[in-house]
Amino acid sequence: MQLYQSNQIKIYNSLTGKKEDFKPINEGHVGMYVCGPTVYSNVHLGNVRTFMSFDMVFRYLKHLGYKVRYVRNITDAGHLENDADVGEDKITKKARLEQIEPMEVVQRYTVDFHNILNTLNFLPPSIEPTATGHIIEQIELISKIIDNGFGYEVNGSVYFDVHKFNESNEYGKLSKRKLEDLIHNTRTLDGQSDKRNPQDFALWKKAEPQHIMRWPSPWSDGFPGWHLECTAMSTKYLGDQFDIHGGGMDLKFPHHECEIAQNEAAKGISPVNYWMHANMLELNGSRMSKSTGNTVNPNELLSGDNTFFSKAFAPGVIRFFNAQSSYRSVLDLTDDGLLASEKGFYRLMDGMNLLKGISASGTSTFDVSAWKQKCYDAMNDDFNSPILIAHLFEAVKYINQIKEEKASISVEDLALLKTTMHAFVFDVLGLENVIEVNSGSDKLAGAVDVLIKLRQEARANKDFAMSDKIRDELANCGIQLKDGKDGTTFSVN
């Protein structure tokens, strides 16, 4: 029996605005699509937060025994700079500024994206399709929309007729916006637009002479609209209807709203059963913005090369920081917050290392089975990682009590505690035991053992100044000594 058969997940569905029991379309299988990055610059830390949240969702579904097909796209065709369907696409703009080919831009920042995610211990998606690799599918989708009466061509460009669609469907049901309100709040067209209505959006744009990225189509040499690629790629690999579609809160309107409209217009069905949206990441209480300078990229956070934070932070600390907040909550990135998360992260890793060495003795003074169920209950409740972490620290407290001989644990419960802690800390949260990795070198361990012995000799000779100096100098190097009844151990921070 797979774990998913005894664990009912509830997911907050943005479409209905409430938590719902998760029931996949196909028993034991999950299809999940998450909107990936537009690769025209280094990946934004806010985007990393979104991808990290869905990496945790992916990990938990796999842990429960689901066969998950996780599709996360790469937008490498560029899209126009604003929702008015005018301007220059971001990849082309970057290529012009640097006088290189657009695909050089794409390659550079795709590599950066993958490097960052690898550093932060992401699992790769099952499929990572690119927009440029699916131009044919996008053209076919546009043709269906036109044939069904919801698209129109003007001067080589094709637009989605939102007003026509809204006569038989509901445009705005995901973002809870009414077309009447959108009309009221939209400026009238200036006479230069090819659109019938300001709310219409581009399915295909005719390329201007200076536009570098272009493909032949029945309507013109041009390029697809921004919203179209995700509809084409998600349904190609997951079917016309699939289980979960994720992305950042900023994509709910218009991007995801338009995805729903395109799929319903082309195929007559709503594409997704559960819409999930990760909330925004702020920096020191304000929105991240390049224009104001209130921004930091992942490499700067990892290296400490920035003016916002007092030090560099390990990848595991960043993952732990993210998991301490619900994916649906706004998360404020601050120095104090990261420093507190760093302490919590290393406390958890210390607990994991202690767990390896404790021994069973008689009966348990802690209900491990009930604790294990609370861990699953937390993740089953819309992937509530903050509550899960609270339960993990319950176990760390118990582990320390066993080590200090203030508590005991049975053989069966010790095995259960070890497997459950490993599953949630490493497999689900995706944390890595950097203490174990960093202290795993025999040479390092040997050198520290020599210093520990010298310190013990100093203490035996009542040379406490030397003893303290050895401890403090090691601490300055990130090596913390811990004195206990069984001797002195060390951890690497």
More confident residue, 448 or 74: 74
Task: Tally Cβ neighbours within 10 Å of residue 94.
Answer: 21
pLDDT at position 440 is 47
C-alpha to C-alpha distance for 56 and 49, rounded to whole angstroms: 11
Q: Are residues 272 and 286 in the same domain?
A: no
pLDDT at 150 exceeding the cut of 60:
yes
Coil, helix or strand at residue 36: coil
If asked whether residues 305 and 445 sit together in one domain, one would say: no
Contact 196, 163 (CB under 8 A): yes
Whether 437 shows a pLDDT value over 50: the answer reads: no
Mean pLDDT is lowest, of 74-78, 121-125, 389-393, 394-398, for: 74-78
Backbone angles phi, psi at 488, to 5 degrees: -105, 130
Domain shared by 166 and 307, yes or no: no
Look up tokens 């934070």; give the residue: 309
Q: Which uninterrupted H or E stretch holds 86?
A: none
Helical (H) or strand (E) element with 31: strand 29-34
Residues 376-385: what's their mean pLDDT?
A: 98
Lowest average pLDDT, out of 3-7, 101-105, 263-267, 292-296, goes to 292-296
Together in a domain, 95 and 230: yes
| Residue indicated by tokens 């690629």 | 229
Q: What is the mean pLDDT of residues 220-248?
A: 97
* 286-296 b/e (C-beta count within 10 Å ≥ 16 → b): eebeeeeeebb
Please compute the mean of the pLDDT values over residues 379-395 and round it to a whole number. Answer: 98
Cα–Cα distances (Å) from 451 to 439, 467, 483, 487, 488, in that order, read 15, 10, 14, 13, 11
Query: Per the structure block, which two tokens stand in for 7?
Result: 């664990």
DSSP per residue over 314-349, as a string?
-HHHHHHHHHTS-TTS-EEE-HHHHHHHHHHHHHHH
Q: How much is the average pLDDT of 55-69? A: 98
Q: What is the pLDDT of residue 448?
A: 82
Check whether residue 140 and residue 97 sit in a common domain: yes
Q: Quick check: 456 and 488 in contact, CB under 8 A?
A: yes
For the chain, the C-alpha Rg in angstroms (whole number) is 27
| CB distance 17 to 284 below 8 Å | no
Query: Does some domain include residue 3?
Result: no
Two tokens at 241? 């209807």
The two structure tokens encoding residue 2:
């797979």
Among 278, 297, 332, which residue terminates a domain?
Answer: 278
pLDDT at 481: 84
Residue 14 forms part of a structural domain: no
Give me the pLDDT at residue 20, please.
98
12 in any annotated domain: no
* pLDDT above 90: residue 107: yes
pLDDT at position 84, please?
52
Instruction: Give the CATH number of the domain where residue 70 resides.
Output: 3.40.50.620
Q: How far is CA 389 from the centre of its chain?
A: 18
Judgement on whether residues 423 and 299 belong to the same structural domain of the protein: yes
Following CA atoms 173, 174, 176, 179 in sequence, which dihedral angle do they give, to the nearest 10 degrees?
A: -50
- Chain centroid to CA 31: how far? 17
Residues 140 and 67 occupy one common structural domain = yes
Which tens digits make up the pLDDT trace of 470-490?
888 887 777 878 776 567 877
Predicted local confidence at residue 462, as pLDDT? 82
Statement to judge: residues 104 and 199 lie in one domain: yes
pLDDT of residue 87: 61
Strands in 137-285 per DSSP E: 151-154, 157-160, 201-206, 222-224, 242-248, 272-278, 281-283
In the predicted structure, residue 24 carries a pLDDT above the cut 70 = yes
Which has more pLDDT, 358 or 482?
A: 358
* pLDDT, mean of residues 1-30: 98
Question: Phi and psi of 236, rounded to 5°?
Answer: -65, -40
Residue 489's pLDDT is: 73
When pLDDT is averaged across residues 78-106 and rounded to a whole number, the result is 78
218's tokens: 């029945």
Residue 341, in any domain of the structure: yes
Asked if the structure places residue 5 within a domain, the reply is no
Question: Binning pLDDT at 50, 70 and 90, where does residue 96 land?
Answer: confident
> Picking from 32-41, 118-127, 190-199, 292-301, which range would have the lowest pLDDT averaged per residue?
190-199
- Give the rounded percent of residues in the chain with a pLDDT score beyond 70: 93
Number of CB atoms found within 10 A of residue 415's CB: 13
Q: Does the pLDDT at position 443 exceed 80?
A: no
Specify the CATH number for the domain of residue 320: 1.10.730.10
| Total Cβ atoms within 10 A of residue 227 | 23
Same domain, 226 and 97: yes
Q: Answer yes or no: do 355 and 443 share one domain.
A: no
Cis peptide leading into 129, omega within 30 of 0?
no
Q: Which helix (H) or strand (E) holds 480?
A: strand 479-484
Please state, rounded to an integer, the average pLDDT across all residues of the chain. 92
Number of domains in the chain: 3
Task: State whether 300 and 227 are in the same domain.
Answer: no
Cα pseudo-dihedral 371, 372, 378, 382, rounded to 10: -170
Q: What DSSP assignment string belongs to 67-80? A: EEEEEE-BB-S---
Q: How far apart are CA 226 and CA 49, in angstroms?
A: 22
Residue 323 CB partners (closer than 8 Å, separation 6+): 56, 385, 386, 388, 389, 429
In a domain, 2, yes or no: no
- Considering the domain boundaries, does residue 16 fall inside one? no
Mean pLDDT score, 14-24? 98
The yes-or-no verdict on residue 442 having pLDDT over 60 is: no
Residue 254 shares a structural domain with residue 297 = no
Please tell me the predicted confidence (pLDDT) of residue 161.
98
Residue burial 173-185, b: 16+ Cβ < 10 Å; e: rest? ebeebebeebeee
> How confident is the model at residue 169, as a pLDDT?
96
Q: Which of 118-132, 162-176, 207-221 has the lowest mean pLDDT?
A: 207-221
Which of 230, 260, 278 represents a domain boundary (last residue)?
278
Q: Which of 430, 431, 471 minimizes the C-alpha distance to 451?
A: 471
Task: Confirm whether 272 is domain-assigned.
Answer: yes
Residue that finishes a domain, picked among 233, 260, 278: 278
Structural domain of 486: 439-492
Of 140-149, 188-197, 198-207, the one with minimum mean pLDDT is: 188-197
